[in-house]
Amino acid sequence: MTVGLVIVSHSARIAEGVVELAAQMAAAVEIAPAGGTDGGGIGTSFDKVQAALTAADSGDGVVVLCDLGSAVLTAETALDFADDPERIRIADAPIVEGAVAAAVAAASGASLEQVLAAAQDQAPAAAQPATEQQDLSAPAPSAVAEIELANQHGLHARPAAELVRTASGFDAQVTVNGVDAKSMLRVLALGLDRGTVARFEATGAQATEAIAAIELLAADGFGES
């Protein structure tokens, strides 16, 4: 099971398009559209949002992304009537970028709060104490790799999603050119083109394993070979 997503938009076409895009990055994640009115017009529908929440929930909870203000109000109303509202989160995030980032996080097995944080491009609160509890007298294992990107379009959406999924699978803090390699939005913001030498650094218990996995992923063209 994974955390599901619901896309609430005033336009059925926008909701369906965002679902289609996000699903390209995370085919195994349940992503349900709730766009337009019941009659097919521009607006939002309480019934559509309710149905989408049911469709997207596989048991691990649902993150909802909305386009405009009244879409948020409709989602909040549906949440009020939900059987388990504590397993639903409404993200304060751009609907397209947030949906893609959340989908990639969900596909990596992230928790409800972690998927919400990915959509909002924030570090989840639960992730902070681990760093604070480290024994400063014993430096954490670290590893580094510098890799020239061979992909035709560099680290665009699909290879970036593969990088995020790979980095998220290890107990280590992983960065690429200084930004969190587990954040889809931050990786994409780098705009790393073909021929760029990207510097990957990892610290933590599985730092060496994380860098080794990224090197293998790069050798495979980040899934595009």
Catalytic annotation, residues: 10
DSSP string, 114-142: HHHHHHTT---GGGHHHHHTS-TTSPPPE
Cα–Cα distance for residue pair 208/82, rounded to 1 Å? 44
Helix, strand, coil: what percent of the chain each, to 5?
Answer: 45, 15, 35
Cα–Cα distance for residue pair 102/86, rounded to 1 Å? 18
